[in-house]
Amino acid sequence: MGVLSLGAVAYREFDAATGYLMDLSVFRDAGYAFVSGLPLYSADFPSSSGFRFIYAPFAAILFAPMAEIDPAVLQALWCALNLGLVWWMVKVALSKLDVGRPELLALLSMGPVLLLEPMRSNFDFGQINIILMALVVADCTGVIPKRFRGVAIGLAAAVKITPAAFLLVLLVRRDFRSIGRSLATILVTVGLGFWLLPQSSMWFWTTEFFATGRAGAPDFFRNQAVTGVIARLGAEGRLASILWVLSAAVIVSAAAWSAYRFTRSGEHLIALSIVALASLLAAPFAVTHHWAYSILLIPILIAPQYRSWRPLIGTATLIFLIGPNFVLQSSSSGWVEAAVREVIGSSQCLIALVLLGAAVVAARSRTPLPDVETDAVPADDDALEPARS
């Protein structure tokens, strides 16, 4: 396991230093556009890759220092930062699950974690999802002091709106002050964007923000949200929208109830994982590199108190290791082959739905702890999970 982890880390760093991280180049271009006074969302955007910038103007402000760094050096530094954050998040998760020697075990787990298809995609493209996930994990696991809790989720949502879904974690804890800090942080970043980039901000928040297809067509094979399955089954227009809204309502309702039950029983990491599942399943568009939260499968698989879950968690881990969405790239000769390809190619979405359903079933048997703190997870508390058979 140690050799696998060392090899995976070394490969990732070598690939970043010698290859081309397309999405990171877009981030660097956005930083350059900001410092050069160029538009972010028009044809005049200085794209070195040919791809558009689709994040909020505040993100371009954060990316400004990248414009002064050599691309190869930037890629190596970006990869090293992401590797460190992956190790840290696995370590935090293991600690919250009361697994012994979490630092060492997280290091030994780096091999299988980095082999997960969402991780491969994140590192291949130089994506930002790992960094945003780290902000969410820091907020939701009590790493950030209580008086600042919610700020990290707000910062993550200011870059990419999806992390705002984790306000649900704070809501089921009845941590309204942290919700307020999150919303205030988002408003401050929007205001900063309007101050420094007024034209780009006006365009983004009145037009670009509402263009749900700006990241790609919903039937794109890597889209593993329910919108992908709906689109690939042939639904279009209003029908597709209705099916998505209905599906999202069921998914979010199931996740909210389950997360609340697990929070009341003191199982905060499981509650976080459930909300992560729902945020991706119900999203308008969730390509596989968005599924960075799949790394939480590994700590849960290791944790002895959840050994009865291992057949299902192990199956999900295997599917995310394979990432079989690539089979959707090939055309089918008939409806039977098309159906088989859809089931296999959408298996990341399908297993996520199964996991959510299993969470609902498991949540029914959870017993609220009389002394559990629901308004927040203490910063100096490991929030140890009660033993489960």
List pLDDT tens digits, range 139-163. Answer: 999 999 999 999 999 999 999 999 9
The CA distance from 319 to 116, in Å, is 9
Is residue 341 scored above 80 in pLDDT?
A: yes
Is residue 265 scored above 50 in pLDDT?
A: yes
Quick one: pLDDT at residue 372?
61
Kindly give, in sequence order, each residue whose CB lies less than 8 Å from that of residue 301, ignoring residues fewer than 6 positions away: 310, 313, 314, 317
Which domain covers residue 150, as residue numbers?
A: 2-364
Residue 62 lies in a domain: yes
pLDDT, tens digit, 9 for 90 and up, residues 165-212: 999 999 999 999 999 999 999 999 999 999 999 999 999 999 988 877
User: 106: which 2 tokens?
Assistant: 């997280």
Burial class (CB in 10 A: 0-12, 13-18, 19+), 108: middle
Quick one: pLDDT at residue 388?
44
Residue 386 lies in a domain: no
Burial class (CB in 10 A: 0-12, 13-18, 19+), 317: buried
Residue 388 lies in a domain: no
Least confident of 215-219, 222-226, 315-319: 215-219
The CA distance from 348 to 320, in Å, is 6
For the beta carbon of residue 183, count every other beta carbon within 10 angstroms: 16
pTM of the predicted protein model: 0.93
Quick one: pLDDT at residue 120?
97
Residue 309 lies in a domain: yes
The CA distance from 32 to 35, in Å, is 5
31 neighbors 53 (Cβ within 8 angstroms): no
Looking at the structure of the chain, the number of domains it has is 1
For the beta carbon of residue 318, count every other beta carbon within 10 angstroms: 12
Residue 373 lies in a domain: no
Average pLDDT score over the chain: 92
Residue 383 lies in a domain: no
Residue 288 lies in a domain: yes
Query: Mean per-residue pLDDT for 83-105?
Result: 97
pLDDT, tens digit, 9 for 90 and up, residues 352-385: 999 999 999 999 999 888 766 554 455 444 433 4
DSSP for 251-288 reads HHHHHHHHHHHHHHTT-HHHHHHHHHHHHHHSSS--BG
Query: Mean per-residue pLDDT for 45-51?
Result: 92
Query: Cα–chain-centroid distance for residue 145?
Result: 22
Residue 252 lies in a domain: yes
Kindly give, in sequence order, each residue whose CB lies less than 8 Å from that of residue 262, ignoring residues fewer than 6 positions away: 268, 270, 271, 274, 359, 363, 366
- Specify the residue for token string 């002091």: 145
Is residue 389 scored above 50 in pLDDT?
A: no
